[in-house]
Structure 1
Amino acid sequence: MARVLILFAHPALHRSRVNLALMKAVQDLEDVTFVDLYEDYPNLHIDHQEEQERLLQHDTVVWQHPFYWYAAPAILKEWMDVVLEHGFAYGEGGTRLVGKKLMSAITTGGPEDAYRPEGTNRFTMRELLAPMDQTAYLCGMQYLEPFIIHGARQLTPAQIQEWAQRYRQRIEELRNDR
């Protein structure tokens, strides 16, 4: 079994129905570590040594967050800047993450058809996630197909529960190395 680390970044969790349901769906899974970055680091002062140690203890990393202005929330970007150091994650001697897997788990406010060349956002989600893919590549990690939920604000409670079950299944597949 693979160990999965979910790094969760939502600055307004109290207003999120979907990310809250996703969080609850996976918190009890064996060999899955769930870390709420905003809860652990409310002042954005990331403990890079602790976070690097967490990375070394896991095989797969999941960045779970809402898609804010075509990027991750500030704390996840800060986490990347502080934790994925030269000499640790990339560059000379930076081979500690080679062979690990990385997946983005993202919610969007807009509908799926907004993320097409002819859509409102002009680009596909894969194009917009290129920086995440490149980060994985630079660190020698495999960037997996992202888990994306579009139109999160319009989902019914039943649809949210269905997505939460799909997310749990995807995390179980990662944990079971499938």
Structure 2
Amino acid sequence: MPKNKVLVLYAHPSQHRSEVNQPLFDAAQNIEGVTAVDLYYEYPSYNINIDREQQRLLEHDVIIFQFPLYWYSTPAILKEWQDLVLEYGFAYGSQGTALKDKRFLCALSAGGRADAYQTKGYNHFTIRELLYPIEQMAALTGMKYMAPLALFGARTAKEEGRITQHVQNWRNLLNALVNDQFDYKRAYEVEKLNPYLNQLILGDKE
């Protein structure tokens, strides 16, 4: 029996062009204990059902935003989701403790190479620094943040044969989260999960 219930909130506005995120979403759908939600499919007109989304949050222990990095942020529907679902009195404020102690992380793809995401790189900031608004969202709502899982160089990942291993790493991560076999403390401390994933996963891997 799964020890944790994991919620993957997937946001990709151009799925027919997705070479990375769609395989990740498909994999998540086949793991016991994981609920994978395609936000653009469920809300094509952005008419988000706040009650349903809040109930989903209440029913899960680990929350994951899965998305391609668009202009150093999430696709628009994830911002809309945050604006509407994370209400005062539910997610924050003196009475807003619904998300307290839940785990949170981002699983994303980025078009640029890994060396572009550093202080002296093309993008001037690390991937974790670019996600600081989301990290602060997690802090304000009482969730325990973990560093992101990122696939860099997403535009060439398929031709370079890097997607299969990344999908397997993603499966291993999700199974570890479901089975509560993950080093959450260190996952907060590192810059990104990728180089440390095998060390962070405790016990048997898939």
Comparing both chains, which one has the higher relative contact order based on Cα–Cα distances under 8 Å and sequence gaps of 6 or more? Answer: 1
TM-score between the two structures when normalised by the length of structure 2: 0.85
Q: Which residue of 2 aligns with 1:103?
A: 105
Query: What is the deviation of 1:39?
Result: 0.1
Q: Which residue of 2 aligns with 1:173?
A: 176
Provide the C-alpha distance between the structure 1 equivalents of 2:9 and 2:168, rounded to a whole number of angstroms: 19
Q: Which residue of 2 aligns with 1:9?
A: 11
Task: Give, as a single letter, the amino acid of the residue that structure 1 aligns with 2:179.
Answer: N
Query: Is the 2:112–2:152 contact (alpha carbons within 8 Å) kept by the matching residues of 1?
Result: yes
Q: Which residue of 2 aligns with 1:62?
A: 64
Provide the C-alpha distance between the structure 2 equivalents of 1:9 and 1:99, rounded to a whole number of angstroms: 24
Does 2:198 align with 1:161?
Answer: no
Percent sequence identity over aligned pairs? 49
Q: Which runs of 5+ in 2 are unaligned?
A: 183-206
Provide the C-alpha distance between the structure 2 equivalents of 1:127 and 1:171, rounded to a whole number of angstroms: 24
Provide the C-alpha distance between the structure 2 equivalents of 1:24 and 1:165, rounded to a whole number of angstroms: 12
Query: What is the deviation of 1:145?
Result: 1.7
The 5-angstrom pairing of residues 2-151 of structure 1 reads 2-151=4-153
Provide the C-alpha distance between the structure 1 equivalents of 2:155 and 2:26, rounded to a whole number of angstroms: 18
Query: Is the 2:107–2:148 contact (alpha carbons within 8 Å) kept by the matching residues of 1?
Result: yes
Query: What is the number of equivalent residue pairs in this alignment?
Result: 178
Query: What is the deviation of 1:85?
Result: 0.4
TM-score between the two structures when normalised by the length of structure 1: 0.98
